[in-house]
Structure 1
């Protein structure tokens, strides 16, 4: 049968199957399949004719055509920055009601400070930065590991974050990516610049977590 497919299960070759039969078998991404177009066994996710099948099951394979550009990602970041500002503002207000207040000096006050006073003020701001980064990490990791596959900003821009197989991130993977993003921000955003030079438009945190941002 020239148009038959075979599948390997527990080291045994099963088949032949017609294509319509194959896609009713609950195929997994890494099932080994022998297709009519190839003499070697391949992972199911590498067969172009099965892309539609996997996409219908929620997988979004990263390709050259759907990788998100820097500018779409920047727009999503701006939206998320606004959302995170509201979240952190609410948390700071909540902490203030329990008596935990932070004295943040204005720019004018900082200009008049002695070096010792300036150093003390910067140390006082560190807990604020820590809280802001924790909020950012929890927000991004929770959204990316959810069925949304991305933050609210990304979803509004039609973007999702997937792993190399086009699947939704596990929470641990999303958490690692979010920590990497926080590190990029701490480096004045330098980690994001690799999007311009990366073959697959990956920021530093995408490299770390082996993830891709794609446009639907």
Structure 2
């Protein structure tokens, strides 16, 4: 692959920080209205004098909403990473901004299925003090654990 070299840990970290900002903004666009609705509902119920059963129900609604928000975030991040990395751009907005591309071991664009495997492989990379990510700084092809599992490479243009 001409004019490309393997992207190491710090390039990947920078791209992830840019992506985290984007995902955070999108999440807040979704979350703030939901939290506002819960807050208005709780305030109106509290002003009417809640009994114990209503208070328990309100706590349940808040916990349920938090769980739905967390699940929505996982789905949002999965789709963002998998769609972008398997697209013609071969990377997320953060990767594109700093000139990184994700490929298979032969330098070809990856499939949505491979990008999905790569995304969920990041769970393993996160375990035990992020050692799976740190591997990108020490392996010959600058692969993190999730890259090894998915058979992918990240290149710097």
Would you call these one fold, judging by a TM-score over 0.5? Answer: yes
Aligned position for 1:86: 25
Greater share of residues in helix: 2
- SS of 2:6 mapped into structure 1: coil
Q: Is the 8 A contact 2:119 2:146 kept in 1?
A: yes
Aligned position for 2:8: 69
Structure 2 length-normalised TM: 0.73
Structure 1 length-normalised TM: 0.55
Distance 2:86 2:18 in 1: 19
Q: What 5-or-longer segments of structure 1 have no aligned partner?
A: 1-60, 102-119
Number of aligned positions between the proteins: 135
Q: Which has the larger radius of gyration?
A: 1
Q: Which has the higher contact order (CA 8 A, sep 6+)?
A: 2
Distance 1:186 1:87 in 2: 26
Distance 1:94 1:62 in 2: 48
Aligned position for 2:137: 196
Q: Against the structure 1 CA distance between its residues 69 and 62, is the aligned structure 2 distance closer, same or farther, given a 3 Å change threshold? A: farther
Greater share of residues in strand: 1
Q: Against the structure 1 CA distance between its residues 161 and 200, is the aligned structure 2 distance closer, same or farther, given a 3 Å change threshold? A: same
Q: What 5-or-longer segments of structure 2 have no aligned partner?
A: 40-58
Q: How far is the alpha carbon of 1:62 from its aligned partner?
A: 9.0
Distance 1:69 1:194 in 2: 9
